[in-house]
Amino acid sequence: MSNVKLLYLMCRFSLIVGFIVVMTGANCFAQNAATQNLDPKVFDSFLGTYRFPSGELIVIGRSQRRLYFYFPSSGVARGLDRRSPQSDLTWVAGPAFQVFAPVEFKIDFQRRGTDVFALSMWTREGSIRKAEKTHLYREEKVKFQSGNATLGGTLLIPAGEGAHPAVVCVHGSGEQSRNGFVSIIRFVADHFARHGIAVLIYDKRGVGESAGDWSKQTLDDLATDALAGFKMLQDRKDIDPRQIGLWGSSQAGWIMPKMTSQAKDIAFIISVSGAGAGISVGDQVLYNLEIDFHNAGFTNDEIAEWKRAYRILYQIIQEGPTASTRPLEELVRKLQQNPKLTDELRKNWFLARPNPQIDWEHRDQWFFLYDPNFDARALWQQYPGPVLGVFGELDGLDPVSEVTPIFARTLALRKNTDFTIIVFPKAHHILMEMETDKPNDNELPNLKRYVPGYFDAMSDWLLRHVTVKSMTSNKAGRDR
């Protein structure tokens, strides 16, 4: 951290530049390869922290369809692929996050009865190391009620007695289980639990053990579900009700400020790659469009026309079913003639589809669920607690250089000016290190490690704002 420089603005706001530069979008990345959900009754026992004889840790996480590993000491992370569909215990990884050949790592899990208790890792260099599962925290399956839906989750509880500070992890967009997209929630939860902070992770509606349908939820609905988990923690004797806060990524940047308008006792907020930090829902979508179409070879003038079409769409949605759609239809017919339109763009962008139609009867389209005009800045300004904003410099889903100054000004206007904004150089939307020099949402498969300092920056900040009963991660050194 010797290259870190601190520039203090206002009272307690710090803008960190240098090794860590000072701030997750609304889109959801596509899963690669694996198509079948992993049975939690089988694979949840794989999850957790394992220790090699050297003391080094390896964390096993999962998404709905794939296992992942992460080395806290180096930041190296990979998705794992089954060596054989018939084998639950042997998994392989390749040279990058979702590139599986040539094989550079092989993990053989060891099971005793129904529980996985150890793993052996082979690397391309030929070394084989065995790691035993640790018990640095315990896990408890939980259920809680949100409206008419029962939601399922897991509470990671640090070692030691007493009432612990706690974090509710709030999802980004899309269909996500309690472990999050590409296991990002699981890795964060593991890190916090090893640092003495309890963590609630839960399944979205209709996913895993939760009832309902996430695809029909508004941002307000998603905030209500997260608040139900927050209130459940307040009633537990092993949780300090005065020290419960939020961690969320991407779309959670809109959800968490909505929660603050309904609960006045949220102790802190950590927002990672947060949508809603400085622009509206509609403008966020336009930024995502600009990045995707620019990477597909469209000119600035062509991109401007596509943006104009979406602004017309927003206006029609605001006016309702009686609005004239003719100007939009005429412009879209013209734009559809562009030979640069790829199948991927047509699939991912509503107005690029062959026959885009506004279906007023079905309200599960994104522009109905998420008001394009919604801007979270007013809610952020009213929140009285400390805030940490973490961003990646090369985020392809969030205009970081634009929103960080806006976010800073918004938070500085509050009575409590205790906030920190961090932008990590060369970092992707999920805070892994990019090897390109421009924002690009399509680099996910080629990523190799989390940017240095990401996990520790969050826990260091949080440990300055809460009091913990015990912390176990110091046995293995600091995370990256």
Contact 150, 159 (CB under 8 A): no
pLDDT at 60 over 70: yes
- As given in the structure block, the two tokens for residue 153 are 């989750």
pLDDT tens-place string over residues 4-18: 222 323 333 344 433
* CATH architecture for residues 40-133: Beta Barrel (2.40)
Mean pLDDT in the chain?
A: 89
Task: Please determine, for residue 79, whether its predicted confidence score (pLDDT) is greater than 90.
Answer: yes
Q: Whole-angstrom Cα distance, residue 70 to residue 105?
A: 12
Tokens of 117: 């208790």
- pLDDT (0 to 100) of residue 160: 85
Mean pLDDT over 46-64 rounds to 97
With a pLDDT cut of 70, the percent of the chain lying above it is: 91
End-to-end, the C-alpha distance of the chain in Å comes to: 12
Average pLDDT (359-379) is 87
Per-residue pLDDT band at 392 (split at 50, 70, 90): very high
Please tell me the predicted confidence (pLDDT) of residue 35. Answer: 65
Contacting residues for 9 by C-beta, under 8 A, at least 6 apart: 15, 408, 412
pLDDT average, residue stretch 357-366: 82
The pLDDT of residue 436 is above 80: yes
- The pLDDT value given to residue 476: 47
Residue-wise burial string across 115-142, b where 16 or more C-beta atoms lie within 10 A, e elsewhere: ebeebebbeeeeeeeebebeebbebeeb
Q: Tell me the average pLDDT across 241-268.
A: 96
**pLDDT at site 453:** 97
Residue 25 has pLDDT above 60, yes or no: no
Residue 267 has pLDDT above 60, yes or no: yes
Which residues neighbour 300 within 8 Å (Cβ) at sequence distance 6 or greater?
A: none
Q: How far apart are CA 85 and CA 101, in angstroms?
A: 17
Q: Does 245 have pLDDT greater than 80?
A: yes
Which has the minimum average pLDDT: 23-27, 96-100, 163-167, 281-285? 23-27
Q: Which of 31-35, 42-46, 467-471 shows the lowest per-residue confidence on average (mean pLDDT)? A: 31-35
CATH 2.40.128.50 range(s) for the chain read: 40-133
* C-beta separation of 18 from 5 below 8 A: yes
pTM over 0.85: yes
* d(C-alpha 185, C-alpha 366), whole Å: 23
Provide the pLDDT for residue 31: 35
**How far is 197 from 235, CA to CA, in rounded Å?**
17
Q: 30 pLDDT band (50/70/90 cuts)?
A: very low
* High-pLDDT (> 90) share of the chain, %: 76
| Position 471 pLDDT exceeds 80 | no
**Cα–Cα distance measured from residue 362 to residue 168, given in angstroms and rounded to the nearest whole number:** 31
272 bridge partner residues:
249, 390
Residue 65 CA, distance from chain mean position: 17
The architecture of the domain spanning 137-279+375-476 is 3-Layer(aba) Sandwich (3.40)
Residue 417 has pLDDT above 70, yes or no: yes
pLDDT in tens, 279-312: 899 999 999 899 899 989 999 999 999 999 999 9
Lowest model confidence (mean pLDDT) among 57-66, 234-243, 286-295: 286-295
Closest among 175, 207, 172, 213 to 26, alpha carbons compared: 172
Distances in Å between the Cα of 78 and the Cα atoms of 21, 58, 60, 436 are 25, 11, 10, 19
Segment among 203-217, 231-245, 345-359 with least mean pLDDT: 345-359
CA distance 236 to 142: 11
**Residue 408: pLDDT over 90:** yes
Q: Give the residue among 200, 159, 174 at the shortest CA–CA distance from 30.
A: 174
Within the chain, all domains assigned CATH 3.40.50.1820 are found at 137-279+375-476
pLDDT digits (tens, 9 = 90+) for 101-114: 999 999 999 999 98
